[in-house]
Amino acid sequence: ALLEPARQRSDMKVTHVAARDPAREAEFAQAHGLQAAGGYEALIALDDLDLIYIALPPSGHCEWSIKALEAGKAVLCEKPFSTSGEEAEKMVEASQRTGQPLIEAFHYRFHPTLLRAEQLLREQALGPLIGASANFCIVIPEEAGEFRWDAELGGGAFMDVGCYPFHVLRTLIGSEPELLGASATYRNGVEAEGEARLNFDASVPATARCSMVATDRRLDVEIMGEKGRLSISNFIVPHFGGVLTLETEAGTITEEPDPVSTYAAQLEHVAQVVLHGAKSLTGGQDAIANMRLIEAGRAAARGHRSPA
């Protein structure tokens, strides 16, 4: 997802890869024309790298983001940002202390379709908002080594897929919600699926749903206002059919997605931040707030725990 769009750019080049297993590291390096760094510590110690992409399970995000930042590297860290709000605060503090950018890799956030939806809402296309919902419901196979089903590695539906509905609702509505309640079903010690009820600005109820066992695949978001409704059929990867629909009294407008991939759009944003000093759309207080909301949702769901 990242290597291909990076190869299309003249202002960045992926050069090294690191893994815990030297054999896997060497295999990946050879397959993609990279250099094997010799482990994580060796990678962040290299003096000719500007940016480290951390694609580890969430349990490794805090430690290695901070180490990379302290080594003078900018960081693109996979979602969810960390395993807790406390970890997120430590990561953001390290970014501020070192002066190095720390960007959360919510790739969907940088796509033209999402930016268009954000623009329409800021222009009051729907008038005062009255409700919203977002869903990321898919099947993640319960296979050996799949970190999303491993609590110690930061797995679980609220973490891996739920972080997106929480984030897109916060982004499009433009404020922080109150958590009214949450529920979940569990397998192997993690949420198999979950739902959170939110309230934005004391008057905009919203629902965030996530699942790793869904028979009905959903990756949509809907925002409702007094003047109409805005929806994106696939906000996660809109370049795969994420149609934006705006319905108002003036009629219905549908906009097909820009064909640029979310990962290419993400790399463009990263380049603007790292090379040109632009302000990042993710990370910072946004990342802390999202992790705090995930934490609160998980805690509330445990109070309404039911077996799968």
pLDDT tens profile 152-208: 999 999 999 999 999 999 999 999 999 999 999 999 899 999 999 999 999 999 999
| Residues 44/46/48/51 CA torsion (nearest 10 deg) | -10
Q: What is the mean pLDDT of the chain?
A: 96
3-state secondary structure of 39: coil
pLDDT of residue 303: 80
- C-alpha distances in Å from residue 182, one per residue of 177, 178, 214, 215, 280: 13, 12, 18, 21, 30
Whether the pLDDT of residue 267 is over 50: the answer is yes
pLDDT tens profile 76-101: 999 999 999 999 999 999 999 999 99
Is the pTM for the entire model greater than 0.85? Answer: yes
Cβ–Cβ < 8 Å for 282, 109: yes
pLDDT of residue 304: 63
Residue 265's Cβ-count burial label (10 Å; 0-12, 13-18, 19+) is buried
Read off the pLDDT of each residue in 261-284 and give the average, rounded to a whole number: 98
pLDDT of residue 194: 98
Cβ–Cβ < 8 Å for 204, 224: no
